Chain A
Amino acid sequence: MTQAVSSAPGFWKKNQQKLAPWLFLAPGLLMFVIYVLVPIFQSIWISFHDWDGLGEKVWIGLGNYVELIDDEDFYTSLKNNIIWLVLYLLSIPAGLAVALFLNQTVTGIRLYKSLFFFPFVISQVVVGLMFTWFYAPDFGLFSQLLKWLTGEEVAVLADERYVTYGIIAAGLWPQTAYCMILYLTGLNNINPEQVEAARMDGAKGAKLLWFVVLPQLAPATFIAMVVTVIGSLRSFDLVSVMTAGGPYGTSQVLSYFMYEQALSEYGYRMGYGAAIAVILFLIMMIFITLFIVRMLSQERNA
């Protein structure tokens, strides 16, 4: 840039303020456009084709989408995604409860907070393996506990009725830890004067929490909502590691179903996979738009 100054001092000096942001943006923006922005449109384009990933793409219009309407696995995945979304939201009140429990100042509390946060740092592959072991029939801790309590053993991950709930429980573990840390930070920053004033007026317990503390925690709740909704729709790792969608595809979710169709051992169906991805993308866009609209209004008020 010093060169530019010496060769064309007038031009650069006059336009520096205008050009500088674009020069700063260029490398990051270029990468982002190549690897994120363009592929979204390419995927939409591919979803109108029949393609094995190698040969020629054959235009089939809405063919893939028409096929989806009659695909039972698609509805199983969609239904499971909704179950994931609803149950995953439990991590928000659960995280708040743990945060309230830990928001004290006793010796060693910092270490407790870190250790409670632990599950979030561990890879989901490891979390999945841990819970597979936890649920394992005959010797898993959970199955043993269940046998002791009810006298009956259930192979959670092999049972069509329970498998999705079993995987979601594994997902709730790190997600609750994440929400907990958001709320702990939020609790750290609430206005103590307001809380004390409300206490003077006789408010306490649940009432104080609901009317005075929670409104102040709204930013934390918002972020917890964003990461939980996105996390639930993104669920892939746990399904892949714990059941690979089984038994008989009953624990599939859209993200895993798409992966399986596009890169399955029975041949690549990139077009069909892309169509599933587009549906998932559209579902996500509803939430992303809601989030962005809210963030935008905050940005304008700032």
Chain B
Amino acid sequence: MFPTPIQKASPFVQAGYKLLLPLALFLWLLPLIGVAVTSVRPAGDLAAGNYFGIPSGFAGVENYTAVFRDSPIGLYILNSFKVTIPTVIGAVALSCLTGFALAVYKFKGNLILFFMFVAGNFIPFQILMVPVRDLTLKLGLYDTTMGLVLFHVAFQTGFCTLFMRNFIKGLPFALIESARVEGVSEWRIFRYIVLPLMRPAIAALSVLIFTFVWNDYFWATVLVQGQHAMPVTAGLNSLNGQWVAAWHLVSAGSIVAALPPVAMFFLMQRHFIAGLTLGATKG
């Protein structure tokens, strides 16, 4: 184990480490703590110049109610779900198929296709912006959540395919071969032998894609214009423009927008980290 376990150090150092941990965490999360405290600060505090002292009272209920009552943030959140959930289902479903194809079959162009998916994942969004916006307009899907879903599904399929393919490669190939010898069709091998084993990969990818797509801001501004389809990231930015200097509202809105992916992360932490660190341990 590296560094040396703290238990081997003197009690003095151990106590110091245990003291340092919460202190370091406090400093690390200072911007977040500041926003969280501001979101429950009475509006009067800000007017009186009490920006980062102890709040004069708890106004969490008022501030959060005001955010939901006076702004369309509820609608924005709903739109984000309308974009995120179908994208997760679509991208994971498509990549189960593509990942299986690239992991199990040897055919000409296999590696080229695989690296095309990998490379697609790294390209700058801007090179896609004009044509994708144009295509979405032509399909009549501009300014709809569906337009965003289709693009996200296609783009995320790149990352998901990389993930699924590597996961299936790690499964024992003998399972598939013995099924083939028994004459099981390729589709049934996928459906009844491989797919059940892919549950952990599906879970990991779902949380990751949920977070990526929920937090997308660029496409939300390029493919959507009106409130009725706007996801919460773009919505929050436009609200920030309206709430000039109303930092208690901006803060409360930020917390609301950040909550779903944060909740997702805490609920599915193991899967999330397993997905994110894929490849960090071996080749």
What is the distance, in angstroms, from B203's C-beta to the closest C-beta of chain A?
16
**Is the pair B155, A28 in contact by a Cβ cutoff of 8 Å?**
no
Check if A69 is an interface residue, CB within 8 A of chain B: no
Q: Which of B52, B233, B265 contacts A144 (CB 8 A)?
A: B52
**Is the pair A288, B101 in contact by a Cβ cutoff of 8 Å?**
no
Given contacts A118-B29, A195-B2, A240-B217, contact A27 B125 (CB under 8 A): no
Give B225-265 as 1s and 0s: 1 = Cβ < 8 Å from A's Cβ atoms: 00000000110110010000001001100100110011001
Those of A225-260 within 8 Å (CB) of chain B = 226, 230, 233-234, 236-237, 240-241, 254-255, 258-259
Instruction: Collect the chain A residues with CB atoms within 8 Å of residue B126's CB.
Output: 254-255, 258-259, 273, 276-277, 280-281
What separation, in Å, do the CA atoms of A131 and B234 have in the docked complex? 17
**Is the pair B124, A280 in contact by a Cβ cutoff of 8 Å?**
yes
What is the distance, in angstroms, from B51's C-beta to the closest C-beta of chain A?
4
Check if A154 is an interface residue, CB within 8 A of chain B: no
**Is the pair B49, A139 in contact by a Cβ cutoff of 8 Å?**
yes
B residues neighboring A (CB under 8 Å): 1-7, 17-18, 21, 24-25, 28-32, 34-35, 38, 49, 51-52, 94-95, 97-98, 100-102, 104-105, 107, 110-111, 113, 115-120, 122-135, 150-151, 153-155, 157-158, 161, 185-187, 190, 211, 214-215, 217-218, 221-222, 233-234, 236-237, 240, 247, 250-251, 254, 257-258, 261-262, 265-266, 269, 273, 276-277, 279-283
Check if A8 is an interface residue, CB within 8 A of chain B: no
Instruction: Collect the chain B residues with CB atoms within 8 Å of residue A140's CB.
Output: 51
Of the listed residues B25, B133, B215, the one surrounded by the most CB atoms of chain A closer than 10 A to its CB is B215
**Is the pair A255, B94 in contact by a Cβ cutoff of 8 Å?**
no
What separation, in Å, do the CA atoms of A158 and B276 have in the docked complex? 36
Check if A11 is an interface residue, CB within 8 A of chain B: no
Given contacts A24-B101, A126-B257, A236-B218, contact A40 B236 (CB under 8 A): no
**Is the pair A302, B283 in contact by a Cβ cutoff of 8 Å?**
yes
Closest to A190 in B: B2
